[in-house]
Structure 1
Amino acid sequence: MADRFRITLAQLNPTVGDIDGNAAKALAAWQQAREAGADLVAFPEMFITGYNTQDLVMKPAFYRAAMAAVEELAKQCADGPAMAIGGPWAEDGNLFNAYLILKGGRISSKSLKHHLPNETVFDEVRLYDAGPLGGPYAVGNTRIGSPICEDSWHPDVAETLEETGAEFLLIPNGSPYFRNKYDVRLNHMVARVVETGLPLIYLNMVGGQDDQVFDGATFGLNPGGELAFRMPVFDEAVTHIDLERGDDGWRIVPAEIVPQPEEWEQDYRAMVQSLRDYVGKTGFKKALLGLSGGVDSALVAAIAVDAIGAENVRCVMLPSEYTSQASLDDAEAVAKALGVHYDYVPISDSRAAMTEALAPLFTGREADLTEENIQSRLRGLLLMAISNKFGEMLLTTGNKSEVAVGYATIYGDMNGGYNPIKDLYKTRVFETCRWRNANHRDWMMGPLGEVIRPSVIDKPPSAELREDQKDSDSLPDYPVLDAILDILIDRDGSIADCVAAGFEEADARRVEHLIYISEYKRFQSAPGTRLTHRAFWLDRRYPIVNRWRDQG
């Protein structure tokens, strides 16, 4: 029997629906594996289609094309290492999330996902049929068990594989990022290793898909739970890993343990990567945004430059008579520091024309929020016109605090195709700006050093839609607001929980009310980077019409 087994792990970035492109990536990695003398090259869950496909995978023409592509890969890779690749598989009227083993020019074995996640961003009960508990597959004379993603979070699949002869576990994943997700994964995988006594390889994909970002960080554990290797976070990588058989069975030969970045860096990287892939995978080359002189738009501008390069980002200042000189100066300073194209389009005359046009209807009524929102909607109109004319994707810049309580104008500053800070509370926006000023990494396309000057970060936040306006006129101070939102949204807490945490009951009830009445705005808002397990969209699905309020 062979005492050494080499596996090539392809931690790559597929694109949903690009079946031919994903197959080409798989073939290139297989060729690397063959050159390295590997026994097996392995890819993440649903790699041939990209992940998460949502309802697209139920379309017969789509899953048949994916199945045909895998069969063609098997023929192309007949002479060399075996291939393990994720994809949909239909048979006997059922559709499965499958892990397909290709060798000798054909699909030699299939592992079918048993536990279908039906929470947070996953609706797999809607999409797939559950496969049976199965046994391992053989590559040469080595037997491998592959619980697919969610299957590894439950003990029964791994235990069944161990009992039926698996010698190590190779777990293909499409596991999206949320803050500190790696620790959650690691704890579950250590449990599987302890229960089975087998080495375990956790193979994850990378890249952005709509709101989700896959962060890689593929790792291996030896019996006892010792970390044997870890691949990069967020980066594509093809890595060759060896296992050796001894008297006590197989062990992973220790390899490089790539350092794990701290959470501020990972959040920022997730926003950059998601925007880079959203723009790239949808076919855009350039982006634009309104640069107000405030902290949110400054951060989005920095993220955009780091994602696609300053030469591909346009920032537009659209001042009214309420825009302060400080905001004008700050916006220009941010644009210069980042090196972006900067346009200046005043809206005062346009606003006056709109006010004049509406004057006959509004006679006898006091100016109110209506007039403030006209300014925001004019800006949205002008930015969309620029987007249409130049083919640049408009980015929207509302943070999670604003998105939560509706402190944004629908069809105004909410206009746009993507929002990288949608899941970042305002208090974290401030700290993220400070982090970016103090840190630079190779994956950032923007300049080193301070790109968001302190005056942008330190001044009191304001929409500047009326004289001397401050956000705190309409909302609790952000540290209070964000703490209440964390309880009500991220922890699904109650008004009583807010009071027990030391907040005023009136503030908590007001915030809860704002959350619920803003649902219709969120329903129409742009997608944005998922940073937490309670992001707005698939993680939190509430009715738009909702008259319930917490009376506790």
Structure 2
Amino acid sequence: MRIALAQIDLVVGDLSGNARRSIDAIEAAREAGAAITVLPELTITGYPPEDLLFKQHFLDDARVALDDVAAATSGTVAIVGFPERGGDAVYNAAAILADGEVQGIVRKVRLPNYGVFDEYRYFGAGDHAAIVEVDGVPVAVTICEDLWLPDGPAAAAAAAGATVILNTSASPYHRGKGHQRERMLAQRARDHVAVVALCNQVGGQDELVFDGHSVILDHEGLVVGRAAQFAEDLLVCDVDPAAASAARLRDPRGRLAHRPALGTPVRTVARLTTAATEHPPTSTPPRHGHPQDESPHGDGELFPTLDPIAEVYAALVLATRDYVAKNGFSTVVLGLSGGIDSTLVLLVAIDALGADRVRAIVMPSPYSSEGTQSDADRLADAVGVQRMRLGIKPAMDAYDQILAEPFSGLEMDLTEENLQARIRGNLLMALSNKHGWLVLTTGNKSEMSVGYSTLYGDSAGGFAVIKDCPKTLVYDLVAHRRQVTPDAWGTDGEHDVLASIVERPPSAELRHDQRDDQSLPPYDVLDRILEGYVELDLGRDQLVDRGLPAADVERVIRLVDLAEYKRRQSPPGVKITPRALGRDRRLPITNRYGG
């Protein structure tokens, strides 16, 4: 059986556009001889559509778009996700399309309601597993988490005879997620003694980025086809369902699965014949995987996976590109300080959009060092972006004059430091208003966690590229990007501008001789505390038991709790860690628990 997985970049709410993308993908798969084409979860609407699902006319229009896709199917079967209105509920559903019509509908049974997911808010749950018979082969159709656990719809369908399990998914990325998902799918293939094929969405959607990384595994859990990460792709793969069927005769575990305690009922929703029962073999591309990826039971392209840091960088680039494009911007602007954070944001922006669509604004104050300013200039020259220099001293003097009377007799403190950041934020937003540029903020997760940022200053903007990147990861990402083009950074003879930026002690440069380590613990310590407190919900005693300094733990916990109100007002930024600030972590602002 030839299976095609069409991981496409969908736009939430673009019903007609998503339908066109689906039709194009199905046509390409049919031309490649696929019997079945699987598209991502909620293909028609994009994922997650959120409160659009409360609009009756949105659901009606989604069904019209689905019927348009169905009308374009002939000679192949397509699995296309859509929101199905059924009585007083909406279901996360997958339509079985063939011969120009909707031949059957499968409803998602397992609804996630953790982390970034709110599916209980929107959907009713299906009550049965579904099998589609395609060219005589029983094929299970599952939706995302219906395959995640050992029991449930996938297990029930396999026990009822399905030798191929298809999964339409919108599984958002975080660091390492693709490899975790692939290992889980390998176990499910072995558990159910079935071919497993998962098609995952790709692309950025607000704070989420989807990595693609669609995959097909044989009944022994070996990868026989893997699509690209962070790019649209059509993966076409020949699999052998008969090998799974033969293996079940030798595996007694499957016989136990027929017990009534398995739970989920199974229905055959369609019996279909395609024009793809005979076709030439797929061309055999070079194998990129490890030896254990080789399998005699299937043959498809195996894209190599990225290393952990390259993977995160690719996620940032895709998320930035899609946020800019899907929201109608052509150009972005950022403040370039010569520090490590704005450097990373600049590099991501030019890789996402091209240097001609990025503007860098250098905004020196009397406290800006010659080193950071010259490195900002050198970096802009090295990457070829337009830069503009706007000194902020005149604005600082104007504020001093305006505030002289109400500040009379008071010492200079954080107020004056914050005014500098707010002046810069105002300048960037003025350029945004005048030219229609999107402002990219440059704050990282470590600083945002503890409130080491200025409200309406460096936090002002439209998209926070590295919002979920801890400071230590920022350094790793810049080092990775430097290695990609190692000869690009020596813009004036011996000087390596990226090396200079990486080696300089981090500083906000809002007063003379300021350094971040005067206000915060060292970043390697800070990030370990934040990982425990923010991502793992550990308390102070547990953190200290991990060998972290008690005084630092107390201080960081207090800062994190106090800064919740700031984070609520920050722009969206791409999720990179398992628990991002925002949708993943929801704590009250008014809160006296204290850790």
Task: Output aligned runs, 1:96-245, within 5 Å.
Answer: 96-154=91-149, 155-245=151-241
Please tell me the residue identity of whatever aligns with 2:133. Answer: A
1:533 is matched with which residue?
578
267-276 vs 226-235, greater mean Cα deviation: 226-235
2:419 is matched with which residue?
374
What displacement does 1:14 show? 0.6
What displacement does 1:425 show? 0.8
1:490 is matched with which residue?
535
What displacement does 1:452 show? 5.0
Work out which of the residue numbers 343, 350, 373 in structure 2 matches 1:328.
Answer: 373
> How far apart are the structure 2 equivalents of 1:281 and 1:195?
40
CA contact (8 A) 1:220 1:252 kept: no
SS at match of 2:152: helix
> How far apart are the structure 1 equivalents of 2:513 and 2:34?
67
What displacement does 1:392 show? 0.6
2:443 is matched with which residue?
398
1:505 is matched with which residue?
550
> How far apart are the structure 2 equivalents of 1:508 and 1:194?
44
CA contact (8 A) 2:164 2:241 kept: no
What displacement does 1:167 show? 2.4
2:28 is matched with which residue?
32
Please tell me the residue identity of whatever aligns with 1:173. Answer: S
What displacement does 1:410 show? 0.4
CA contact (8 A) 2:195 2:241 kept: no
> How far apart are the structure 2 equivalents of 1:372 and 1:347?
12
> How far apart are the structure 2 equivalents of 1:256 and 1:247?
20
1:66 is matched with which residue?
62
What displacement does 1:440 show? 5.2
Superposed CA offset, 1:199-219 (max 9, x none): 111111111111111111111
Work out which of the residue numbers 294, 301, 316 in structure 2 matches 1:256.
Answer: 301
Structure 1 residues 252, 52: closer, same or farther in 2, change over 3 A? farther
TM-score relative to the length of structure 2: 0.88
CA contact (8 A) 1:439 1:449 kept: no
> How far apart are the structure 2 equivalents of 1:17 and 1:262?
33
1:470 is matched with which residue?
515
Structure 1 residues 172, 452: closer, same or farther in 2, change over 3 A? farther
What displacement does 1:448 show? 5.4
CA contact (8 A) 2:333 2:438 kept: yes
Please tell me the residue identity of whatever aligns with 2:54. Answer: M
CA contact (8 A) 2:364 2:392 kept: yes
CA contact (8 A) 2:199 2:212 kept: yes
Superposed CA offset, 1:433-488 (max 9, x none): 111000159xxxxx956785211111111111111111111111111111111111
> How far apart are the structure 1 equivalents of 2:468 and 2:241?
46
Structure 1 residues 516, 247: closer, same or farther in 2, change over 3 A? closer
Work out which of the residue numbers 292, 304, 324 in structure 1 matches 2:337.
Answer: 292
Task: Output aligned runs, 1:257-272, within 5 Å.
Answer: 257-272=302-317
CA contact (8 A) 1:401 1:482 kept: yes
CA contact (8 A) 2:5 2:198 kept: no
Gaps of at least 5 residues in structure 1 are 442-446
What displacement does 1:288 show? 0.3
What displacement does 1:245 show? 4.6
2:283 is matched with which residue?
none
Work out which of the residue numbers 80, 86, 90 in structure 2 matches 1:85.
Answer: 80
Structure 1 residues 449, 23: closer, same or farther in 2, change over 3 A? farther
Superposed CA offset, 1:498-522 (max 9, x none): 2112222111011000000000110
> How far apart are the structure 1 equivalents of 2:386 and 2:76?
50
> How far apart are the structure 2 equivalents of 1:296 and 1:178?
20
CA contact (8 A) 2:130 2:140 kept: yes
What displacement does 1:403 show? 0.5
1:55 is matched with which residue?
51
Please tell me the residue identity of whatever aligns with 2:533. Answer: L
> How far apart are the structure 2 equivalents of 1:237 and 1:463?
42
What displacement does 1:256 show? 2.2
> How far apart are the structure 2 equivalents of 1:452 and 1:330?
6
286-295 vs 187-196, greater mean Cα deviation: 187-196
Gaps of at least 5 residues in structure 2 are 247-295, 491-495
SS at match of 1:430: helix
After superposition, the CA RMSD in angstroms is 1.6
Work out which of the residue numbers 398, 412, 417 in structure 1 matches 2:457.
Answer: 412
Corresponding residue pairs, total: 540
Structure 1 residues 313, 248: closer, same or farther in 2, change over 3 A? closer
Superposed CA offset, 1:27-65 (max 9, x none): 111211222232222101111111121222222111211
Please tell me the residue identity of whatever aligns with 1:341. Answer: Q
Percent of pairs identical after alignment? 40
> How far apart are the structure 2 equivalents of 1:165 and 1:142?
9
> How far apart are the structure 1 equivalents of 2:60 and 2:485?
44
311-320 vs 33-42, greater mean Cα deviation: 33-42
2:257 is matched with which residue?
none
Please tell me the residue identity of whatever aligns with 2:58. Answer: F
CA contact (8 A) 2:83 2:92 kept: yes
